[in-house]
Amino acid sequence: MEQLLQHLVNGLVLGGTYALLGIGLTLIFGLMNVVNFAHGEFYTLGAYAAFAALGWAGVDFFTAVLAAIAAGAALGWLCEVTLLRPLRSESIDTTMLVMIGVWIAMQNGELLVWGGVAKSIPHPFPTAPLVLGPVAIAPLRLFVLLIAAGLIAASWLLIQKTKLGRAMRATFQDRDTAALMGVGIGRIHAATFAFGSALAAAAGALLGPVFLAYPSMGDLASLKAFSVVILGGLGNLPGATLGGLLLGVAEELGAGYISSGYRDAVGFVIIILVLLFRPAGLFARQERIA
Amino acid sequence: MARPESPPLLRLEDLHASYGPIAALRGLDLVVAPGELVCLIGANGAGKTSTLRAISGLLPPARGRIVFDGREIQGDIPAAILKAGIAHCPEGRRVFPYLTVEENLAMGAYVRRDRIAIAADVDEVCRHFPILAERRRQMAGTLSGGEQQMLAIARALMARPRLILFDEPSLGLAPTVVETTFAIIADIRRRGTTVLMVEQNAYAALRMADRAYVMETGRIVLEGAARDLLDDDHVRRAYLGG
C-alpha cells in the first residue's frame, strides 16, 4: 500500500510535466492543424535554456525557469511567423515535413552548442526527501509538481477566461466566422504556437534538473506528448491534463510492479489500446479546445 | 430606375473575384444608399454569397472597387472592414456552437475596445431578444435554429455596424420563425441601420426591400424598386414561381 502511494506520487510528478507537453501539442494540433514533430525540441530547449541561464548568465534557479519559458515562447513565435505562416494554406503533410526539419535542425543545433555529453542542471533544493506520512518526495520533485499544476491552471484560465482564449476557441470552432468577427487568424496562430512551445519549454526546464539535459531528450518527450493528445482527444485541454497524469501514473506503476525496463512500454500499450477501442480519445466529448 | 439621390453608403464598381480558376463575380455594379434595405436575388451559384464575402473581406476581389462611406475598402482585412462599420451575418447562422450565448455576443464585439459600452450592448441585446437572456450561459449549439438565427443577428449588431449584410437569413428555418426573422430585420432597418440582404425567398425579400438587384452568373442583370420587380415578368418567371 505504501509502495502504491509512493508510485502514485512519483507518477503525478512525471504526469504533470506530460500534461504540460500534451496541452501545448493539443492546442497547436487542434487549432492550427499542424502535426508538430518539433514539440519535443522545445522541451529540450527549455532544459538547455535553464542550463545556459544558470551557467552563462548566472541567474538564480527560479529566474532560469522563467527564462526557459520565455525562450520557448520566443522561438515558438518565430517558428510560426517565419515557417508556418507562409504555409497556412498548404496541406497538413507539408507543414508536418517542415516541422520534422525544425526537429532535426534544433536537435543538431543543441548538439553543436552543448555537445553530446549530458549536462546536469544544478538546483537549490536539498536532496534529502520530505517525508509526508507514508510517502517520501524530493523537494525538487514537489516543486516540479506544484509549478506544473500552476501552469496547467494558468492555461485553463487563459483559454476560458480571457479575450484571447475566447478568440482561440472561436477560431478552432469556425475559422471563417472568427475572421468575420475581426479575429486576426495569423495573430491567433502565432500566440497559440508560442504558448504551446512555452509550456513544452517549461516542462523541459522543470524535468531537466530531475534527470539530465542531452540533445536527444526531446525525442521521447515528443512521443509522450503525442500519446497524451491521443489519450485526451484533439484540442481537449482537460483531456490532455488527465491524459498526462494518467500516462505518468501508469508508467510509474509499470516500472514499479513489472520492471523499470518496461516503463515506456506500458505507456505505449495503453496508447495502442486507446486507439483500438476509443480512437477519439478517452475523454472525447463534443466540445473541443475548452 | 429608382436610383437613390443621396450619396451611397456602399458602392461596388466593376467587381471581379474568383475562387481559384472559377470566376464568381464578373464585373458587378451595385449601390446601397444610407438607410436603405436592398436585396440581392438570383439563382444558386449566381454569386450572391460571393458578393457579400467580397464586401466583408473574406474573398479579396481581383479587380474593381468597393467604396464604403467614401473610402475604398477592397483588399482590406475583415477586421478593418468590420471596424469601418460593416457587419456580416453569414449564411447558415454560423454561431460558435461550443461558446455560450454570452461569449458569442462578446465575439461580435471583438474589434471594439469600449468594455463598458460593450457590456451595456449585451444587456440591450438581451432586452431585445429575451430568449437570449434566458439562455445566456448555455452553449450556442444547444439552441434551436430560430434562436441561433437571433443570436447570429444579435452578434452582428454587437459590432454597432452602420451596414449589415444578411446572407440567406431565412434558410432552413420554420415558417413562423422566418416571419420573426424578417420582422427583426425590418426593425433593424427602421432603427437606422442600412441593410443589404441576400435571400432565396425572393417574394418575401422583395416585399420588404426598398430596391433590389437580380444577379446572374456573377453580374447584375436587373435592378429597380422592389415593388416594380415584383411585377416584372422575367423576375416572376425565374424567381417567384410564375
- A287 has pLDDT over 80: no
The whole-number average pLDDT for the span B74-91 is 94
Euclidean distance between CA atoms B229 and B207, whole angstroms: 10
A135 CA: distance to closest CA in chain B (Å): 42
For residue B157, the model assigns a pLDDT of 95
pLDDT (tens digit per residue) in B59-80:
999 999 999 999 999 989 999 9
pLDDT (tens digit per residue) in A137-192:
999 999 999 999 999 999 999 999 999 999 999 999 999 999 999 999 999 999 99
- A278 has pLDDT over 90: no
Candidates A79, A110, A61, A52; CA nearest to A198 is A79
Q: Residue B122: which region, alpha, beta or left (left: phi > 0; alpha: psi -120 to 50)?
A: alpha
CB contact under 8 Å between B107 and A179, yes or no, is no
The rounded mean pLDDT for chain B is: 92
Q: What percent of chain B has pLDDT over 70?
A: 97
Q: How confident is the model at residue A100 (pLDDT cuts 50, 70, 90)?
A: very high
A236 CA: distance to closest CA in chain B (Å): 12
CB contact under 8 Å between A180 and B58, yes or no, is yes
With contacts defined as CB-CB under 8 Å, which chain B residues touch A184? Answer: 77, 79
B80 CA: distance to closest CA in chain A (Å): 7
**For residue B108, is it within any domain?**
yes
Whether residue A176 lies within 8 A of chain B, CB to CB, comes out as yes
pLDDT (tens digit per residue) in B138-177:
999 999 999 999 999 999 999 999 999 999 999 989 999 9
For residue B242, the model assigns a pLDDT of 59
The whole-number average pLDDT for the span B104-113 is 95
Taking CA atoms, what residue in B is nearest to A288?
B98
- B3 has pLDDT over 70: no
Gyration radius (Cα) of chain B, Å: 17
For residue B135, the model assigns a pLDDT of 94
**For residues B175 and B204, is the Cβ–Cβ distance under 8 A?**
no
The whole-number average pLDDT for the span B32-42 is 94
With contacts defined as CB-CB under 8 Å, which chain B residues touch A177? Answer: 90, 94, 96
With contacts defined as CB-CB under 8 Å, which chain B residues touch A288? Answer: 98
**For residue B61, is it within any domain?**
yes
pLDDT (tens digit per residue) in A199-220:
999 999 999 999 999 999 999 9
With contacts defined as CB-CB under 8 Å, which chain A residues touch B106? Answer: 163, 166
pLDDT (tens digit per residue) in A3-53:
888 999 999 999 999 999 999 999 999 888 899 999 999 999 999 999 999
Q: How confident is the model at residue A270 (pLDDT cuts 50, 70, 90)?
A: confident
Nearest by CB: B110 against A167, A287, A288? A167
How is chain A split into domains, by residue range?
Answer: 19-217
Higher pLDDT residue, A280 or A179?
A: A179
Residue type, B27: G
- B16 has pLDDT over 90: yes
For residue B5, the model assigns a pLDDT of 62
Higher pLDDT residue, A196 or A257?
A: A196
**For residues B111 and A182, is the Cβ–Cβ distance under 8 A?**
yes
Nearest by CB: B110 against A176, A182, A288? A182
Whether residue A167 lies within 8 A of chain B, CB to CB, comes out as yes
With contacts defined as CB-CB under 8 Å, which chain B residues touch A170? Answer: 96, 99, 103, 107
Taking CA atoms, what residue in A is nearest to B83?
A182
For residue B166, the model assigns a pLDDT of 96
List the grid coordinates of A208: 531537466
The whole-number average pLDDT for the span B206-222 is 93
Nearest by CB: B110 against A181, A286, A288? A181
For residue B1, the model assigns a pLDDT of 45
**For residue B7, is it within any domain?**
no
pLDDT (tens digit per residue) in A253-263:
998 888 888 88
CB contact under 8 Å between B82 and A180, yes or no, is yes
pLDDT (tens digit per residue) in B114-126:
999 999 999 999 9
Q: How confident is the model at residue A1 (pLDDT cuts 50, 70, 90)?
A: confident
* Cβ pairs bridging A and B (under 8 Å): 65
For residue B51, the model assigns a pLDDT of 96
The rounded mean pLDDT for chain A is: 91
pLDDT (tens digit per residue) in A133-150:
888 899 999 999 999 999
**For residues B54 and B15, is the Cβ–Cβ distance under 8 A?**
yes
Round to the nearest angstrom and report the end-to-end CA distance of chain B. 23
Q: What are phi and psi of A171, to 5 degrees?
A: -65, -40
CB contact under 8 Å between B107 and A184, yes or no, is no
Whether residue A287 lies within 8 A of chain B, CB to CB, comes out as yes
**For residue B4, is it within any domain?**
no
For residue A57, the model assigns a pLDDT of 85
- A290 has pLDDT over 90: no
At residue A86's C-alpha, the angle toward residues A82 and A91, to 5°, is: 125
Q: Find the CATH number of the domain harbouring B147.
A: 3.40.50.300
**For residue B5, is it within any domain?**
no
Taking CA atoms, what residue in A is nearest to B88?
A180
**For residues A162 and A177, is the Cβ–Cβ distance under 8 A?**
no
Interface test with A, best of B50, B107, B165 (most A CBs within 10 A): B107
Q: Are strands B163-167 and B194-198 parallel, antiparallel or unpaired?
A: parallel
Counting the structural domains of chain B, the total is 1
Q: How confident is the model at residue A286 (pLDDT cuts 50, 70, 90)?
A: very low
With contacts defined as CB-CB under 8 Å, which chain B residues touch A183? Answer: 79, 107, 110
B57 CA: distance to closest CA in chain A (Å): 8
- A75 has pLDDT over 80: yes
Candidates A218, A188, A181; CA nearest to A203 is A218
Nearest by CB: B90 against A169, A180, A286? A180
Q: What percent of chain A has pLDDT over 90?
A: 70
With contacts defined as CB-CB under 8 Å, which chain A residues touch B50? Answer: none
Q: What percent of chain B has pLDDT over 90?
A: 81
- The range of the structural domain enclosing residue B221 comes to 30-239
Q: Which residues of B touch chain A, with CB atoms under 8 Å apart?
A: 56, 58, 77-79, 82-83, 88, 90, 94, 96-99, 103, 106-108, 110-111, 139, 141, 155, 159
